[in-house]
Chains A and B, each alone.
Chain A
C-alpha cells in the first residue's frame, strides 16, 4: 500500500476533530453573524475543563466530552446573552475587537488560574493501535475522530429535527421574518452561541487526546478554525466539516510532498487563495 494512504487516513482522522472545532465557529457566524475571535481560547478552556473533570471525577477523557460540551454551552449562552447580544448590529470591527479583548482576557486568566505548565491526560489506550491490513491507525486518533463524527451528527440532527433547531435555522435565514412569527430571537441567539461553544468544548476534549494544553496554544487554533471555516464556507455546517477534513489531509500530504515545516504555510496560502477567488468557500452562500 503506498505510504500516502496512511497520511490521507491520518489526515482525515485529525481533520474530523478540526472539523468539529471549526463547526462551532461556523454555527455562530451563520446564525448570530459574530466573528468569534476568541474561538481558540474557548477550546483551550474546554481542554482545561477536561483536565479538571478527569482529575476530580476520574472520567475517561472521551466520556468527558459530553460533560464538557454542557459546561461550554452554559458559558457560551451566558457570554452571548450577557455581553455579545448588544453587539450584533454594531460595526464589524467593533465586534472583532470585543472578541479580541475577550480572547486576551481568557488567555491571561487561564495563565493565572492554571499556571503555565503544559498538561495532558493519559488514556490507558494511548499507545495502542488498530491494524487494518497494512494500515496502522492510532487508537487515540480513531476514537477522537469517532467522537467528532458523533458530535457533528448529533448537531445536525438537532438542527434538522428539533423545534429549537428549526427555529434557529429560521432565524439565520430571515431574522425579521422569524421575529414576526414570534420567535424569541435573543434567546435563540444565546442557544446558538452556546451550541457553538459546546462544539468547541467537545473538540477541545478530543484535541487534548492528541496534544498537551497550555494557555498560549489558543491563537494557533483560532487561526486554524478560521482557515477551515473560510475554505469550507462561513455559515455552512457541511462546509466546516469538509473544510476540516481537507485541511487535515492537505497538511499531511504537504508535509509528505514538500517540507514538513512548511505545512502551515500551505494552509495560509489556501486561505489567501480562497478569500480572493471564492470568499464564500466551498459550500457557503455569498455573504
Chain B
C-alpha cells in the first residue's frame, strides 16, 4: 500500500509537531492512528460541511493536548452518495484505520456499507437515519441520535417545560420544511404523539419547500388557526423568514419551540431578528454547561471563530473524534477487529455533550443521548432544561413583542 504524498506530508508534520510538543516528548509511544473524516465539502451541503470542519479542527487541538496520538485525513463526499463511496475507498486505500462521517444520511449510508465491507471501523458522528444501525453491521458505531430518538427526546422536554413554568398550551400548529430532515422529524413528532399523547392538540400541520423565500401564506394559515403554541421544524434560512413574517403579521403564540432543528441558535438568526430572536426554544442535544471539557471547547472555538456557532454539530464532531482515539488508546493496536472490540466497550464520562457516559449498544448505537432545551436568552443560546444541566430558568410563555 503506497503512502500518498499528501498523507506522507501530513504525517510528517504531525509527527514533528507531536515530537516537539511537551506532551509529545513525554508520551510519544503510540504511532498516530489515521482517521478518515468524510464531510460534504462541496455541493449544496458544503456550508454545513464547513461548520462541522471548523468544529473538528478546534477539537483536534484540544484532543491532541489530552495526549492522544492521531492524524485526521479529510475526504469530500461532494454532497452525493456515489462520491462518498469512492472517497471512502480512497481513504481506506491511503491507509486510514478508521472512518468518521458524514452528516447526510444518504452519504453516511453509503459510507457505512463500504466500512462494513472492508471491516474498517466507522464512527457516525452526525447522521440521523435509523436504518444506518439497523443493518446488523459489526463495524459501524453511531454517537448521534436517530431521528426517532431526536423526536422522542425533543418531545419529552415539552412536558418538563410546562410543569416547571406552570403553563400548558391547549393547541399547537406544526410547521415543517418539506425535505428529508423535516419529514423525518415530523414523522417522529407524530409518532410520539400517537404513542404517548401530548397535553396539546396539533390542530394543523403546514409544510413548505426548503427553497422558499416567502412564508407569508404559511404564517397567515398558522395565525388563522390561532394556536397557543407554534412547533417549528426548519432550517436556518426559512426560520429567519418565518419569525420575521410572524413579527410583521403580529402573530405571536405563547412560544416558538422546535423539537430539534438547526437555525434558532445560529448567530445569523440573532443578527437578523434582534430582540425577536429571544425566548425561542430548541430541543436538541447540546453542549453540557456542567462539563469542563465543553467549556474549554466553546472558549477555544469562539476565540478562533467568533462569527460561527459552537453547537450540536460541533459538539458531535468533537465526540466522534474522541470516541475514535479513545478506542485506539485502549485497543493499543490499529487492527480493525481490536479497534471494533474496543469501540464496543467504550465508556467515556469526560465528554462535551449532555448525557451520561458514551456507550454503544449491541447494534452500535448510543442510546443515551438526551436532548436539552436551549432557549435564546439575552442574545445567547442558553440551556434551560434538564434542570440538572441548566444555566438558567426557562421562560414560557414568551413576553409580548408589542
Contact = CB atoms under 8 A, between A and B. Distances in A.
Check whether chain A touches chain B (CB < 8 angstroms): yes
Interface of A: 3, 6-7, 10, 14, 108, 111, 115-118, 120, 122, 126-127, 129, 136, 138, 207, 210-212, 214-217, 220, 251-252, 255-256, 259-261, 263-264
B207 A259 contact: yes
A138 B249 CA distance: 9
A10 B214 contact: yes
Interface residues of B, number: 39
B237 A7 contact: no
Q: Which of B224, B268, B276 has the most CB of A within 10 A?
A: B268
Nearest to B218: A260
B131 interface: no
B224 A3 contact: yes
A263 B44 contact: no
A215 B49 CA distance: 14
Contact of B209 (A118, A207, A212, A264): A264
A260 B272 contact: no
Contacts of A111: 42, 46
A286 B302 CA distance: 60
A227 B338 CA distance: 58
A150 B207 CA distance: 35
A260 B217 contact: yes
Contacts of B221: 256, 260
B217 A118 contact: no
12 contacts: A10-B214, A116-B42, A117-B47, A211-B241, A212-B240, A212-B268, A255-B208, A256-B217, A259-B207, A260-B217, A264-B209, A264-B211
A264 B247 CA distance: 26
Contacts of A138: 216, 245, 248
B220 A136 contact: no
A108 B41 CA distance: 12
A261 B208 CA distance: 4
Main secondary structure of the interface of B (DSSP, over half): helix
Given A6-B216, A211-B213, A260-B218, A127 B47 contact: no
Contacts of A115: 47, 50
Nearest to B217: A255
Interface in B200-234: 206-209, 211-214, 216-218, 220-221, 224
Interface of B: 41-44, 46-47, 49-50, 178, 206-209, 211-214, 216-218, 220-221, 224, 236-237, 240-241, 244-245, 247-250, 268, 271-274, 276
Contacts of B213: 14, 207, 210-211
The list of the 9 closest CB pairs from A to B, nearest first, reads A116-B46, A116-B47, A261-B178, A216-B44, A255-B217, A211-B213, A261-B207, A260-B208, A210-B213
B214 A120 contact: no
Contact of B217 (A7, A117, A210, A211): A7
A111 B50 CA distance: 12
Contact of B272 (A108, A126, A129): A126
Nearest to B45: A116
Contact of A120 (B178, B216, B268): B268
A214 to B, nearest CB: 6
B236 A118 contact: yes
A164 B125 CA distance: 60
B333 to A, nearest CB: 38
A210 B220 contact: no
Given A7-B217, A216-B43, A260-B212, 10 more contacts: A3-B220, A3-B224, A6-B216, A7-B220, A211-B213, A212-B236, A216-B44, A260-B208, A261-B209, A264-B209
A201 to B, nearest CB: 18
Given A127-B273, A259-B207, A260-B206, A14 B237 contact: no
Contacts of A256: 217, 220-221
Nearest to A112: B42
B250 A252 contact: no
Given A120-B272, A252-B217, A220 B178 contact: no
Nearest to B207: A261
Contact of B248 (A136, A210, A264): A136
B276 A127 contact: yes
Nearest to A129: B248
A6 B220 contact: yes
B15 to A, nearest CB: 30
Contacts of B244: 126-127
